Amino acid sequence: MDAQQGSPMSMLIIFVLFGLIFYFMIYRPQQKRNKEHRKLMSELAKGTEVLTSGGLIGKITKVPTDSDAIVIALNETNEVTIKRDFIVAILPKGSIKSL
């Protein structure tokens, strides 16, 4: 009988442990990545050199305020329009010239 009375309490402890593992292994790191990405999006400005998730490296030429797209110059003659969400990194100034 004593084993049956202790069983609900041990199950509760196991659920709490799984909840803590879930929080520290999945939820908290995802929040941190989202915060860093929002910071990155706020730093986008004309003239910034960026890397896209597709591997394109270019310099931002237009940042429309009414749209979630930006225009990136890949070189002197080619420009592409992409969604802001596809920017994965801001590169140091002069990165494009060093390639």
Q: Nearest 5°: phi and psi at 48?
A: -75, 135
- Confidence at residue 1, expressed as pLDDT on a 0 to 100 scale: 45
Judge whether residue 2 has pLDDT over 70. Answer: no
What's the CA gap between 24 and 29, in Å, rounded? 7
Second CATH level (architecture) for the domain 44-97: Roll (2.30)
Q: Domain segments of the chain: what residues?
A: 44-97
pLDDT digits (tens, 9 = 90+) for 18-34: 999 988 899 899 999 88
- Confidence at residue 6, expressed as pLDDT on a 0 to 100 scale: 60
pLDDT digits (tens, 9 = 90+) for 31-58: 998 898 888 888 888 999 999 999 999 9
- 43: its two tokens: 């730093």
